[in-house]
Structure 1
Amino acid sequence: MADHAIPSQAQSPEPAPHPVASGTVPIRPRRGFAPHGTPQLSNVNRLGLFTLYMKEVRRFFKVQTQTIWAPAITTLLFLTVFTVAMGRSGRMVLGVPFATFVAPGLIVSTGMMQNAFANSSFSLLVGKIQGTIIDYLMPPLSEGELLAAILGAAVTRAVLVGLAIAAAMAFYPGVSLYMHHPWAVFWFGMMGSLFMGSIGVLSSIWAEKFDHNAAITNFVIAPLSLLSGTFYVIDNLAPLFQTISRLNPFFYIISGFRFGFLGRSDIGDTNTAVLHAALGLGVLNLALIALSYGLLKSGWRLKN
């Protein structure tokens, strides 16, 4: 008798192991980023840039009492002292009360600009001193991405400090923060923050210890900031000192920011007059950013 072949039953495929049971949990890509392992044509490491930016932001935000709220209180004390000392008898400057005149300058100079410098000058310098600079140099980030993350965090801190100061000054008697030209408030605030952020990066590259950084703060930044028309109009100065003031970038940042609030300033009372200073600051910032990028790329005082 011929053997009857037993029909083979189609074998069903084995079920795939559960990802948790097998120890292979799928990694969900961050929203807005491609899945891990997916080739990208972009030359920008967006994930690395965002990660470093958030690291820098969280670093100063963890101590926000010192980095955000303390500058607001200090600036408010400046306003109180100078208003009491110089704003008596209803003193008017540029057609507004003295407190309203001095408030914008304090917001952008002692608040936003100085804190932008403090933030950007800390990261690389503390890395060099503690020997952790390799954490900035080894990740797959280009010099441009590294610079963008540091400057972005510096501007973020400057904006937060500026908002905190403005909120505190809004309740101060005699201060009006009505904006006549919002574009000038935004532009000169951003340009001032980028300017000081770039100076901070250059300072952290050059400095080898905290004393070097403190020397730049005390002997360069503080005099240029306080002697740039924060508390006065330069028309009250002698012609020589007016010329010196007009060579100071701080003067144009403070005057342009004040123009946004008051509609008047030392550099003009119209958008056209202030626009030249706005463009000049933009060009100056591009030059400083290019210099910072070149030094980062060369590794000067970073890789030796």
Structure 2
Amino acid sequence: MIDQVANSKDEGNSSSENTAYFNVVRPREFGSVNFLGLKTLYKREVNRFLKVGMQTLLAPVVSALLFMAIFKLAFPERSDIAGIAFGDFIAPGIIMMAIMNNAFQNTSSSITIAKVQGNTTDFLMAPLSSLELALGFLAGGATRGILVGLVTMICIGVLGVANVSVHSIPAFLFYSIIASFMMAAIGLIGGIWAEKFDHLAAVTNFIILPMTMLSGTFYPITVFSEPFETLSHFNPFFHLIDGFRYAFTGQAEGSLLVGASVSLIIAAALCGACWAVLRSGYKMKA
């Protein structure tokens, strides 16, 4: 009888210990969205480029200012374009180019470096869904793009090389956000696809750069003869730059409604593609 009571106590103690053990090691339960994990990933992406601010923030601003200086010096007597001073015309295009390039570079370099160094498990093993991973990377890339654009705009205004007063705040915010997320999505997809930095450079040199330079960044697309002028309207970068230029000058070469709709649809489709690619594990999971 005593042995039975002792065994019963031992079993009870063992059961209590097991219960306590399982209470300790039970995986943390999250709601429908892991806000803590999403915030952590976003902070990781932001801190990653802030730690090398000379390279990621200052260098793009200097490049944008050099573009402004070169065009101002090369065309000192350049006449107004549709009643807009030449410097005021190209400044929004240069600012938008800085936003787009840096949003692309942030996500593409983040994923490519992680793959090359073999530390993709840092975020793949975290309790984050594919949608949360996509949002974290895209938000980090968009933050860098918008931040570089704001600093570039302030520097251009302070130096007095162009008038950067905002004509339409809604258009300014809309195109800044849409462009940064669109390019961050392209960078994320490109980074996942690329196996080395040469592949990423190919995306930049053969897709991003030509589309940017042929989008009316430094000139009105009316300088093209047909059918190239019409074909320019099929370049999504043209609508981004044209709408962003409208935010400063109040004038646009194309339809703002069509441009805003096309930009929104493409950005949403690319962000959805990022979620789908991460969910499939394409080139991310062994």
When the two structures are superposed, what TM-score results if normalisation uses the length of structure 2? 0.88
* CA drift at 1:291: 1.2
For these two proteins, the number of residue pairs brought into alignment is 261
> What is the identity percentage for the equivalent residue pairs of Structure 1 and Structure 2?
40
Contact 2:68 2:161 in 1 (8 A): no
User: C-alpha separation between the residues in 2 aligned to 1:140 and 1:90?
Assistant: 57
Match among 165, 176, 184 for residue 189 of structure 1: 176
Q: Supply the AA of the counterpart residue of 1:250.
A: F
Cα distance in 1 for residues equivalent to 2:181 and 2:65:
23
* 110, 120, 127: which one aligns with 2:107: 120
Pick the structure with more helix per residue. Answer: 2
Q: Which residue of 2 aligns with 1:302?
A: 284
Q: How big is the alpha-carbon RMSD for the aligned residues of Structure 1 and Structure 2? A: 1.6
8 Å contact kept, 1:97–1:174 = no
Compute the displacement of 1:246 (Å). Answer: 1.0
Question: Which residue among 260, 272, 279 is the counterpart of 1:278?
Answer: 260
Shift in Å, 1:70: 0.9
Matches within 5 A, 1:77-226: 77-86=66-75, 88-89=76-77, 91-109=79-97, 111-226=98-213
Name the aligned partner's letter for residue 88 of structure 2.
T
In structure 2, what is the Cα distance between the partners aligned to 1:90 and 1:140?
A: 57
How far, CA to CA, are the matches of 1:247 and 1:39 in structure 2?
Answer: 47
Give the C-alpha shift of residue 215 in structure 1: 1.0
For residue 301 of structure 1, give the secondary structure of its aligned residue in structure 2. coil
Equivalent residues of 2:243, 2:260 under 8 A apart = yes
Q: 1:265 aligns with which of 252, 255, 271?
A: 252
2:34 aligns with 45
Partner of 2:20: none
How far apart are the structure 1 equivalents of 2:234 and 2:173? 23
Looking at structure 1, the residues matched to 278 and 29 of structure 2 have their Cα atoms a distance apart, in angstroms, of 27
Would you say 1:56 and 2:45 are equivalent positions?
yes
Q: What does the per-residue CA deviation read over 1:116-174, in whole Å, with 9 as the maximum and x for residues that have no partner?
A: 00001012211111111111211000001001010111111111101110111002334
- Does the alignment pair 1:234 with 2:221? yes
Question: 2:174 corresponds to which letter in structure 1?
Answer: W
1:96 counterpart letter in structure 2: I
**Structure 1 counterpart of 2:59:** 70
CA spacing shift, 1:174–1:129, aligned 2, 3 Å: closer
Give the CA deviation at 1:75: 0.4
Unaligned stretches of 5+ in structure 2? Answer: 1-26
Counting only pairs closer than 5 Å after superposition, residues 14-53 of structure 1 correspond to structure 2 as: 42-53=31-42
User: Structure 1 runs of 4+ off > 2 angstroms?
Assistant: 37-40, 171-174
2:167–2:247: 8 Å Cα contact kept in structure 1? yes
Structure 1 gap segments, 5+ residues each: 1-36, 268-272
